Structure 1
């Protein structure tokens, strides 16, 4: 059976964006001259087999491509969709179709993207149907938190960058109860540590 998972780059204290010197929030960037949370995508000498333009170090490339190869469909929340410039009308994954969850109209949505207005559960169900025997990748902290509340997430992958950000946007939102995780693997790499967890039910 296919799995539902989320993979995201985070600071050690769990932020996915920091604040710029003028107080604005910038997705993936730390404060001032702090490094980008996504620098490790481009700082290596091993090209990704799946993502054009991604050059990672060898451990990251091996892990990243293995995870990306599992994806048959992606689900993103509205905020992540907006912050990612609508992925140019495509998807965050080169081959997987994208489902966007929003309770209000999305005039920018393209024919290659599917809007779901009835909630995270329905979006994941639709994505699983399209994904077939492949997995569904979730994008967006609010969406992932809601899916965790509903018991729909099987795995979490945190690409942890060695920095403590002084503020910004936290990946996880408040949960009504604890969620226990089981560590499956740890992949140390240049500029990032990949932490692969299973959600314990």
Structure 2
């Protein structure tokens, strides 16, 4: 059976954005001259075989491409969708179709974007149908937290950047109870450590 997983770049203290001086969150960014959480996507000399334009270090490219090539469909939360300019009517993944989980109809959704309004279980089920034998990726902190609470996530992958942002927007939202993770793989690389966890049941 296909797996359901999420993968995202985070600071060591668990943030996906820093806090700008005026108080606004800036997705992926640090404070002032601090590095962004996405520098490692472009700071290397090894092109990704999955994502055009990504040039990573060799260990990052090897790990990242092995994960990205597993994805047959990706479920995205509505907040992430809006913050990402609706992915231009397409998908955040170059080959995997997108399923959008929303609490309302989305008339502006692109033709290749499947909209589900009946909950995270139905969104993941729809993505499994699309993905076939491949895996389902999840994108968005609220979506991932809801899927974890429902027991629907098999793996969590954190691309941990060695910076403490001290504030901003956290990736994980509040959960009704603790979730145990077991470390499957840790890959150190320039500017990032890739932490691959299995989710306990």
Residue 55 of structure 1 pairs with residue 55 of structure 2: yes
User: Which residue number in structure 1 is paired with residue 31 of structure 2?
Assistant: 31
TM (norm. structure 2) is 0.98
1:73-125: CA deviations, max 9, x gaps?
00000011111111111111100000011112323310010111001110000
My pick for the range that moved more, 13-22 or 183-192, is 13-22
TM-score after normalising by structure 1? 0.98
Please state if 1:200 is matched with 2:200. Answer: yes
For 1:47 and 1:13, the matched residues in 2 are separated by 29
Equivalent in the alignment of 2:127? 127
Structure 1 stretches of 4+ with a deviation exceeding 6 A read none
Distance 1:91 1:163 in 2: 29
Q: Secondary structure at the match of 2:188?
A: strand
Residue 148 of structure 1 is matched in structure 2 by 148
Measured on the aligned residues, the alpha-carbon RMSD in Å equals 0.7
- Tell me if the contact between 1:15 and 1:167 (Cα under 8 Å) persists in the aligned partners: yes
- In the aligned structure 2, how far is the partner of 1:157 from the partner of 1:95? 20
Where does the alignment leave 5 or more consecutive residues of structure 1 unmatched?
none
Deviation at 1:21, TM superposition (A): 1.8
Aligned length in residues:
201
Q: How far apart are residue 33 of structure 1 and its match?
A: 1.6
Within 5 Å, give how 1:40-119 maps onto structure 2.
40-119=40-119
